[in-house]
Structure 1
Amino acid sequence: MFTDPIFLIATFSLVGCLLVWILFNLEQPKVSEKYLKISTQISLPLSLILLWRIFIYAADFGVVLFIISLVALVVMILGFIIKSEVIFKTSRGYFIPLFLIFILRTFMYEPYQVPSGSMIPGLKVGDFLLVNKFDYGLKIARTSSNTIFKNDPEYGDVVVFIPPHNPVPYVKRLIGKPGDKILYYQKRLFVNGNEVPINLISEDNNAKFYEQSLNNKNFVIRVQEFDEFSQLDQVYRAVVPDGMYFVMGDNRDRSSDSRIWGFVPRDNFFGKAEYIWMSWECWTCLPSFSRAGKIN
């Protein structure tokens, strides 16, 4: 993202707009009102372009909020030093809400939208989740090792993390911890030689739905007919390395997970998905709250 010319142009242009505003609001203005009007007119489209690039690159919005809050704080301090009431009060009006949002989003709860069907039937495409950020420890960046009050993910948790092959957040279920022996064979899952129990609850033309129990957590998985040519239907054996974790999607035959791209480092977890608060399946659909509730 930081090498993207569109992102860099938008960023430096916004910095220029901020400088114009500061220079205009000095006791003796250093720029004319004409330049202030121009910078005001272009600041909104520049902000939208910047947000678009941040979205495209799936950037850590917590870090973005921290940087913006820091800029607002610096400008507020500058306004206090040079005794400019307009600069001080305006920047304070931005700093306080931005910093509160940063604290809430970084250390408490972060919204996350499910991008794929890998967790069907429990989570569907378009579900908006609340991700608990403090259960696994407090940190600013998603993949930072500087974590305080560190707690490890538990078996059966629905975890949100950054996979090792892609900087975009994924949501899966935690199956294995460091040192665990994992075996997936003929649609059956074994952890340390013990089969994770399943119970058939329903089926349709394409798949069967089982209730599975792991660490006293019950959830439903979706399993399709055996396909000897599918990579996900091959025998999978692995021992989870130190500092790593094994995750799988509940939609076992339609999930890109640890069976394909490997293990997840401990530092890459940034929260546990706890609640569905809204569903929005497509841009032309109306948001729905019918699926709102706690995640199993």
Structure 2
Amino acid sequence: MKFLIKHIVIVITCILIFFYIFSYINDFYNYFYQKKHTKKKNIKKLLKELLKDLFLIIFIISIRLFIFQSFTVSSSSMNPSLLTGDYILVQKFFYNIKNLIKKIKFNNYQPKRNDIIIFQYPKNTRLNYIKRVIGLPGDMVFYNPFTKRIYIFKKINNKYTITYNKKEKINNFTLNIIKNNKNFNNKYFHTYRSLIQEKYQEKFKYHIHDIILFHGIKNSLYLYNKHKTKWMWIIPKNQYFVMGDNRDKSSDSRLCGLVKKKNILGKAKYIWFSINYKSKKWLNIIRFHRIFKKIQ
């Protein structure tokens, strides 16, 4: 069914292109075979039509190269957010706008958590993958494959300094007790505990997230123990941890590693068309309720 629909779409597209080209062939034919006094009138009309279409073609190519590009979802790794057969528009300039003349990078947006992005697969950059951003630079990510839970310890942006006053040392001294006599009565004095400095610790608890520091880790992937029950990633600068919404059927950062910012092609914005290849009914092949749906 999937291949049949693709062939039908290709045939329809070819027919439309043929009629479009045929209209120009007809114009050229009329121009060259009509009488001379009508050629001058028709040449202006023909040039106007060509210029209109030329600007339209340049506009479409510019959008395709620099702003939006269409991609097709071919797997179920992003279910239920994106379904197999969804045709999506990706905003290409969202992360990497480059001035082709001066070759200077603009101050553009940074990928945000929960953004759905298109990127080049780290193990094979010729393949384009679509996943959701889970971890940002500076975050620490833990994943347990048995419970299928992911723990994210976000980067602390605001740092606080705690100061304290150090107590001066109290020296030992001798306290002489005068016995009862005619000039001094001891009943007004009581025996107190030794005059020493008691050791105590004041605890500060400004708890946002638990912070664990591991020194000397150079690789992005760290095995939590020898049984590999847990994985941990410390995300460096300009790299991101991505996952599919359908975790059981997704090849993402858990397997291929972190995604570099330079390999991100753009952010998925809209579903402009959707086809259900598994549908046996012709009326249900097109998912009309998903057309022009915003991707979240």
| TM-score normalised to structure 1 length | 0.51
Answer 1 or 2: which has greater helix percent: 1
8 Å Cα contact 2:244/2:251 also seen in 1: yes
Aligned equivalent of 1:172: 131
CA deviation after TM superposition for structure 1 residue 90, in Å: 9.1
Greater relative CO, 1 or 2 (CA 8 Å, sep 6+):
2
Aligned equivalent of 1:238: 233
- Residues 1:193 and 1:243: Cα distance change in structure 2 (over 3 Å): closer
Q: Report matched runs for 1:174-189 at 5 Å.
A: 174-185=133-144, 186-189=147-150
1:28-83 CA distances to partner (integer Å, 9 max, x unpaired)?
A: xxxxxxxxxxxxxxxx9xxxxxxxxxxxxxxxxxxxxxxxxxxxxxxxxxxxxxxx
- The runs of at least 4 consecutive aligned structure 1 residues that moved more than 3 Å come to 88-95, 283-286
8 Å Cα contact 1:113/1:126 also seen in 2: yes
Aligned equivalent of 2:83: 124
1:205-226 CA distances to partner (integer Å, 9 max, x unpaired)?
A: xxxxxxxxxxxxxxxxxxxxxx
- Residues 1:146 and 1:261: Cα distance change in structure 2 (over 3 Å): farther
- Residues 1:264 and 1:103: Cα distance change in structure 2 (over 3 Å): same
Aligned equivalent of 2:116: 158
Q: Report matched runs for 1:144-223 at 5 Å.
A: 147-166=105-124, 167-185=126-144, 186-192=147-153
SS of 1:259's equivalent in the other structure is helix
CA deviation after TM superposition for structure 1 residue 280, in Å: 1.3
CA deviation after TM superposition for structure 1 residue 239, in Å: 0.9
Q: Which runs of 5+ in 1 are unaligned?
A: 1-43, 45-84, 195-232
Question: Percent identity among equivalent residues?
Answer: 37
8 Å Cα contact 1:106/1:140 also seen in 2: no
- Residues 1:193 and 1:102: Cα distance change in structure 2 (over 3 Å): closer
- Residues 1:234 and 1:90: Cα distance change in structure 2 (over 3 Å): farther
- Residues 1:110 and 1:124: Cα distance change in structure 2 (over 3 Å): same
Answer 1 or 2: which has greater strand percent: 1
CA RMSD, aligned part only?
A: 3.5
8 Å Cα contact 1:137/1:149 also seen in 2: no
Q: Distance in 2 between matches of 1:184 and 1:93?
A: 56
Q: Distance in 2 between matches of 1:92 and 1:165?
A: 45
CA deviation after TM superposition for structure 1 residue 165, in Å: 1.6
8 Å Cα contact 1:247/1:258 also seen in 2: yes
Aligned counterpart for 1:106 among listed residues 55, 65, 69: 65
SS of 2:288's equivalent in the other structure is coil
CA deviation after TM superposition for structure 1 residue 240, in Å: 1.2
8 Å Cα contact 2:99/2:106 also seen in 1: no
CA deviation after TM superposition for structure 1 residue 96, in Å: 2.4
